[in-house]
Amino acid sequence: MDLFRKKKIELNQTSGMKKELKTSDLIMLGIGAIIGTGIFVVTGVAANQNAGPALSLSFVLAAVVVILSGLSFAEFASRVPILGGPYAYLYVVFGEFIAWLTGWLLISEFLLAVSSVASGWSGYVQGFLASLGVELPTALTGGYNRENGTYLDLIAVLVVVFVTYIVSLEAKKALRLNNVMVFVKFGIIALFIVVGIFFVKPANWTPFTPFGFSGVLDGAALVFFAFLGFDAVAMAAEEVKNPQKDVPRGIIGSILIATVLYIVVTLILTGIVPFTELGVSDPVAFAMRYVGHGTVGAVIAVGAILTLLTVTISMMYSLARLLFAISKDGLLPKYMTEIDEKHRTPKKATYTAGVVAVFFAGAFPLDILAELTNITALTYLILVSLGLLKLRKQFGQPKAGEFKVPLVPVLPIISILTCVILMLRLQAITWIVFAIVMLIGLIIYFTYGYKNSVMNQKQGE
């Protein structure tokens, strides 16, 4: 049994999908995936329970981890510009087994992200409908919870169905809606900054670190998932006009823009409202209501409802491309490799992703999904950093025109250590569920993937 058979880089292979995306499309895709739940939901609770005003430092720490990982992604994307993102990268340097584990982690992350954001989006919409006097039956307002009397999150199901349809269309059409929503998102954030800056009271930043540095670390572990989504850019490699240059620019550009926005919004938020009062699910809108600007708060709330769609679109887009790439290698059923003749998109992979996401979004409460998303992402980021060290050893230095990570091996090693530190801040139950998820992945590989792998068929010839 050869678990470490490696895929060769075939730059001239074609997937049948249109190559029409540019750097600007990729940056918008990345921002659409990154800026969402983190800025509109998590900031309040993280400041209230973990870091206080020092949450801005938590975002800086989380950003450092993400940027270090993003550099490795950028070099891989430049030197191995093939569909599948980190799954494909590690197939080239480590071989099939590690590639499958990475692919399984990515599937878990994207699936959990789509489902959790849809669930969070449902909460916003239900709150908005309630303000208009419209309320759904309790049984249809949340994931399965007999104590609360909820059995299905109907709105979360409907939004996943809608997003699945949008993503099944041409990439340009799906991302066009994404881009419109990203501009709406920028408008909402700009509105909050312009209005909120006049209500900042520096006294609210004292004490700046009420929970100490430990709280800053806990805050970083919690808000880390607010940066997830930059990897969505790498998934678009086979639909990009110039992937060796555009994909690295898209990755780094989206991370840097998101980092600046998170820090600015967090500082203003904790400057307006004492952190002890921020334990709410809509902190940005709450801050406006807190200073007597209820109308601005309502605009922000409606905008948040609209723009959280961009996260589900970006993540569903990436999940479908990932399933398509893994199926091409035979590790998942081949039917997901079919390209729709009209739209030139992997429609069956998209529909498969949608069906599974509908199940999780409709049946599982939001709190079960969050930390598991973090631990799966941190694990595969460690594998990507290790993979960069192997890439340099296997293929040498990047060529002229290819992106190059500076200070190798120092920066990849720092990236690995910072990921481990954040993982150690997560709860024990998260580790238990994570172990179960990985066990399921191993079962799929050894009962189906290894035998049906394209690499296995080639070895048998």
pLDDT in tens, 242-294: 777 887 888 888 888 988 999 999 999 999 999 999 887 678 888 998 999 98
Q: For residue 238, is pLDDT > 70?
A: no
Q: Please, what's the b/e burial string for 417-436 (b: 16 or more CB within 10 A of its CB; e: otherwise)?
A: ebbeebbebbeeebeeebee
pLDDT over 70 for what percent of the chain?
Answer: 92
The one-letter amino acid at 254: S
Average pLDDT estimate for 292-307:
84
Instruction: Map tokens 């938590």 to a residue.
Output: 58
Q: Rounded to whole angstroms, how far apart are CA atoms 330 and 454?
A: 5
Average pLDDT estimate for 225-242:
74
pLDDT score of 392: 94
Average pLDDT estimate for 314-323:
84
Q: Rounded to whole angstroms, how far apart are CA atoms 174 and 289?
A: 34
pLDDT score of 9: 64
pLDDT score of 73: 82
Collapsing DSSP states into helix, strand and coil, what is residue 358?
Answer: helix
pLDDT score of 444: 95
Q: What is the dihedral of CA 266, 270, 271, 277, to 10 degrees?
A: 150
Q: What is the dihedral of CA 423, 428, 430, 433, to 10 degrees?
A: 130
More confident residue, 197 or 433: 197
The one-letter amino acid at 9: I
pLDDT score of 174: 65
Model pTM score: 0.82
Average pLDDT estimate for 27-42:
77
Q: For residue 233, is pLDDT > 80?
A: no
Q: What is the dihedral of CA 195, 199, 205, 206, to 10 degrees?
A: 180
CA 452 to chain centre: 29
pLDDT score of 231: 73
Average pLDDT estimate for 212-225:
88
Average pLDDT estimate for 337-360:
86
Is 265 within 8 Å of 43 (Cβ atoms)?
Answer: yes
> How many alpha carbons fall within 13 Å on the CB side of residue 73?
34
Structure confidence at residue 355 as a pLDDT band (50, 70, 90): very high
410, with CB counted inside 10 A (0-12, 13-18, 19+), is exposed
Is 301 within 8 Å of 288 (Cβ atoms)?
Answer: no
The closest alpha carbon to 304, from 20, 33, 41, 18, belongs to 41
Q: Rounded to whole angstroms, how far apart are CA atoms 309 and 311?
A: 5
Q: Rounded to whole angstroms, how far apart are CA atoms 96 and 375?
A: 22
Over residues 159-196, the pLDDT tens digits come to 999 989 888 876 666 667 767 877 888 899 999 999 99
pLDDT over 90 for what percent of the chain?
Answer: 34
Over residues 403-452, the pLDDT tens digits come to 889 999 999 999 999 999 989 988 888 899 899 989 999 999 999 999 99
**Helix, strand, coil percentages, rounded to 5, for the chain:** 75, 0, 25
pLDDT score of 2: 82
Average pLDDT estimate for 117-142:
79
Q: What is the dihedral of CA 71, 36, 165, 85, to 10 degrees?
A: 10
Is 384 within 8 Å of 73 (Cβ atoms)?
Answer: yes
Mean pLDDT taken over the chain: 85
CA angle 352, 90, 354 (to 5 degrees): 10
Average pLDDT estimate for 211-219:
91
pLDDT score of 367: 62
